[in-house]
Structure 1
Amino acid sequence: MPAIMQWKGRKFAFISACLVSIMGWVLAYAANNSLTVLISESFHGLGNNSLLAVSLLSISEMVSPKFRSVSMVSFHVVQSFGMALVAILGRYLHWKTVSWIMCLPVLVALLMGLMWPESPSWLAYKGRFEKCEQAFIWLRGTDEFSKRELHELISSQKENMKLDKSHTSGFKLQTLLRRDFYLPSLHMFVLLCLTYWSGSLVIVIYSVEIIKTATHNENAAFFCNILANSILFVFSGLSAVLIRRFPNKSVLLFSITGTIVSLLCFSIVSYMQSIEMISKDSLVCLYLLVAYMIASTLGVLPIVFTVAAELMPVKHRGLGGALYVIFTCILHATSLKSAPYLFLYINLWGTLLLYAINATICGLIIWKCVPETKGRTLGELEDFYVHGNFYIKRANSLNQDHIDLII
């Protein structure tokens, strides 16, 4: 889907992903055997993963840098609400009824997607500068900051088009070796690895089994499952408030620190239970699990996906978007599929310690290498990867050159 997004546009890719997802829900409703259910799940996987990548990349291009981070985190807040809602609906309604209910938001998204314009960044990438200006004005208006960003976008793409004409042979190989491709790809992988291999999704999905193992208390496990979904929604919303007031990277590093501390404490308590220094039915692990979920939901879960989607330059978003989906699928599958075996062979405390070590390594790389994205235009982020800093040449040229735009 990211390749289609780069070829036919963000709008076309978004509508296509919505149609694939709708087809999955229709097949789920019509399913009378396990084969049809599996086929519908395949459509869900393709449609939902495509929607994640296309939506985040489109938001990063269409929304003003001032509001981009909040908008992208809001996407995760709504997603968290949907997960909590499905958990409740699945308990009280038939799964075919849930299929129809889940089809409605995608239909609304499809209708809205038909009404908005194409991404100005993609239009500029394709050399359609007049349509780019019209779409940009429709989305952002004509204030002074918007004019400057539009000028920067067009001048940047014109420079890229001149460079691409002289590098037509071996383009794919050259793309892989370019600093502004492999560095954001590496940073994207580190960010996604932080989320998946710090146990964020594992502990949400296996929370009932983890608490049963840690406390030997089924009532506590059931309570924790309800609490997990509530925390996911409430504290994702709080993270949107935090990044409105503080830099993305600061909130993320604060969340990483809390995640590491809670994982280490959880691991120590679990180990002490295994050697019977603490009672096996103690609820201390439950409290530490809640602390872990609060810490990770404040930043590791919502902010990582948004920052990872912002880093890749527009000209590489076809291949870069494909890598985003590939990294997500591989890390998602490996973390979830390996979790039961890790619990079995290195115990719960060993698994939590492994997650803490990974979170520490990824956190140090993010602190040292990944740029702050809040308030930065996509052109400025591209300059960071091309020049190693937020280059000011383009910004200075705006005060010297007077290019007439259709404004």
Structure 2
Amino acid sequence: MELYNYNEIKVDEAEELNNASWKPLMRQLFVFSGVGSIYFVLGLFFGAPTVFIPQIKKDANSTEVLTDEMASWLSSVHGYSALPWVLIIPVLSRLVGRKIPFLIVCINTIVGVIVFYCSANTIQLLLSEIMQGLLLASNMTLLVVIVTEYTSTRYRGLFLAIESVIFYWGVWVANLIGTFFHWKNIGIVAFVCSLYSLSAFVWPESPSWLAMKGRFDESAAAHHWLKGFDKDSQNELVNLINSQKEYLRVCAQREENKSRYELRSVIETISTEAFYKPLLLCVAFMSLYHFSGKMVCGMYTIELIKQISDNETTAYIGMLIMDFVTIVGMQIGCGLAKVVSRRTLLFGSSGIGVIFLFAISLYLHLMSLNLISENKLLSISLLTLFSMTISVGVIILQPPLFGELIFLRYTSSSLLIITLYSQLLMATVLKVAPYIFKTLTLQGAFFFYGASASVFALILYKYLPETKDKTVQEIEAYFEEPHKSDHASKMLIDDHENIDRRLRDES
């Protein structure tokens, strides 16, 4: 294929392209808005159980209409139903592209929203939650991939950061609707957003996937439609096509000994420190987030505050404040991440969050002994401050840390393992939360989450390296040569052949 050369475009053509330079950004925003709308729906479904569970109990004027067992399933089942899709979506997106799987996710979501809105009993609600497992699984296996491949490098980080915030806006809007209106109105908002996501019908296919399949002309056309003809875009396209041509050439050479090569590749992958050490750190980081109780507090906010304050109005107000503070905390965290090191932000956030967990546990214990009286403002303040501290660091650092720790050559296998672990852990933590509250009592539960988060924070404190402003080669050198990490930069500058080898591996 004859590649476009930016320098060979005529002057009048270049002027015309420069005048239309806003079009690629608008097209990328168009694609991102479709992904963002379906991601917003995911947030709506996460926030929905927080409000529809107490509403159903209140409307029936009985707690027996919705048992604790069913309530725990309604809050967690989408995590379990996502597990098979975590395996299916990557295979499907590799075979048929990114666009078709995304449309399947959107259509399935629309059907699930209709079931949700028309639900007349808890079994139908449970079915709608099960159907949203596909949407949840698409989060790390498809949605992030689309944003990464369809957007320019200069905007990619911003889009990914906004995507994380969109999810929590969805949670907050769901809780806001459930506070002032009937919970089924959440389904109306979700339906409109799901319909908008069908705008993907007019998207081009991913340029990266087309290049991977050897369809270089189509890849160039899609790339130009999305990212324009500027110099950076042209360089990105040339590098993309050249790297995929080299990849296809290598694959053709290996085809004769495919089975033997794949077996050797698997053995080499799982035995290399550069694979399993970053993977274990990502697992520990994911465990820190879920065992901190942030997701549990978000899902069971109303019930928790009602147990503390014994006031339903206070519970709903506290829920909205906590959700809004989470969003504000994430915005603050995004700003701090630009000026503060990863380790400082992570351990400052998790450390203060753990202190608030122990403080809440102590406060509830003193209340149970009648040594202090209940204070509604203090109760909400403690939960709100805990929510903010976790959102400032632990939540917003997930995308950058995963992106910096996992090497490009191990992305597919690492993300598969992390996603499976994350969905299973999240579903299990949410499922057993009511039993933890019942068995350990409220003060015991907060102590448990504080102690658990402390363990994973200490593990990360000991083994997690600083990754901010470090090159891929410096991070890789840390894991491959931990005893020489202090001299990684000097070694990489002196050893040019080693750098070239690693760069070829990553391509």
Calculate the TM-score normalised by the size of structure 2. 0.65
1:185-224 alignment runs, 5 A limit: 185-224=279-318
Q: 1:236 aligns to what?
A: 330
2:206 aligned counterpart, secondary structure: coil
Q: Label 1:20 to 1:219 Cα distance change in 2 as closer, same or farther (>3 A).
A: closer
* Aligned sequence identity (%): 23
1:276 aligned counterpart, secondary structure: coil
Letter in 2 for 1:225: M
2:397 aligned counterpart, secondary structure: helix
Aligned to 1:323, which of 392, 417, 428?
417
- 1 CA distance for matches of 2:197 and 2:100? 13
Q: 2:382 aligns to what?
A: 288
1:73 corresponds to 2:161: yes
Residues 196-245 of structure 1 show CA distances to partners (whole Å, capped at 9, x for unaligned) of: 11010111222222223334444432321121222122222332333344
Unaligned runs of at least 5 residues, structure 1: 402-407
Cα displacement (A) at 1:393: 7.5
How many equivalent residue pairs? 400
Q: 1:143 aligns to what?
A: 232
1:40 aligned counterpart, secondary structure: helix
**Segment of structure 1 superposing worse, 108-117 or 297-306:** 108-117
Q: 1:257 aligns to what?
A: 351
Q: 2:459 aligns to what?
A: 365
- 1 CA distance for matches of 2:380 and 2:455? 26
Q: 2:31 aligns to what?
A: none
CA contact (8 A) 1:21 1:48 kept: no
Q: 1:51 aligns to what?
A: 139
- 1 CA distance for matches of 2:151 and 2:188? 31
Letter in 1 for 2:423: C
CA contact (8 A) 2:346 2:394 kept: yes
Unaligned runs of at least 5 residues, structure 2: 1-88, 502-507
Q: Which has the higher contact order (CA 8 A, sep 6+)?
A: 1
Q: Label 1:156 to 1:302 Cα distance change in 2 as closer, same or farther (>3 A).
A: farther
CA contact (8 A) 2:172 2:324 kept: yes
CA contact (8 A) 1:196 1:332 kept: yes
Letter in 2 for 1:15: L
CA contact (8 A) 1:70 1:240 kept: no
1:21-170 alignment runs, 5 A limit: 21-31=109-119, 35-60=123-148, 68-93=156-181, 95-112=183-200, 114-115=202-203, 117-118=205-206, 120=208, 138-139=226-227, 141-143=230-232, 150=239, 154=243, 158=247, 167-169=261-263
Cα displacement (A) at 1:34: 5.2
Q: Label 1:399 to 1:187 Cα distance change in 2 as closer, same or farther (>3 A).
A: closer
Q: 1:2 aligns to what?
A: 90
- 1 CA distance for matches of 2:139 and 2:117? 21
Q: 1:404 aligns to what?
A: none
Q: Label 1:134 to 1:90 Cα distance change in 2 as closer, same or farther (>3 A).
A: same
Calculate the TM-score normalised by the size of structure 1. 0.79
Cα displacement (A) at 1:11: 3.8
- The alignment yields a C-alpha RMSD, in angstroms, of 4.3
Cα displacement (A) at 1:148: 12
Residues 3-30 of structure 1 show CA distances to partners (whole Å, capped at 9, x for unaligned) of: 3334444444333322322231233345
- 2 CA distance for matches of 1:375 and 1:119? 29
Q: Label 1:169 to 1:223 Cα distance change in 2 as closer, same or farther (>3 A).
A: closer
2:373 aligned counterpart, secondary structure: coil
- 2 CA distance for matches of 1:147 and 1:234? 35
- 1 CA distance for matches of 2:471 and 2:222? 17
Letter in 2 for 1:79: F
Q: Label 1:210 to 1:328 Cα distance change in 2 as closer, same or farther (>3 A).
A: same
CA contact (8 A) 2:97 2:205 kept: no
1:17 corresponds to 2:111: no
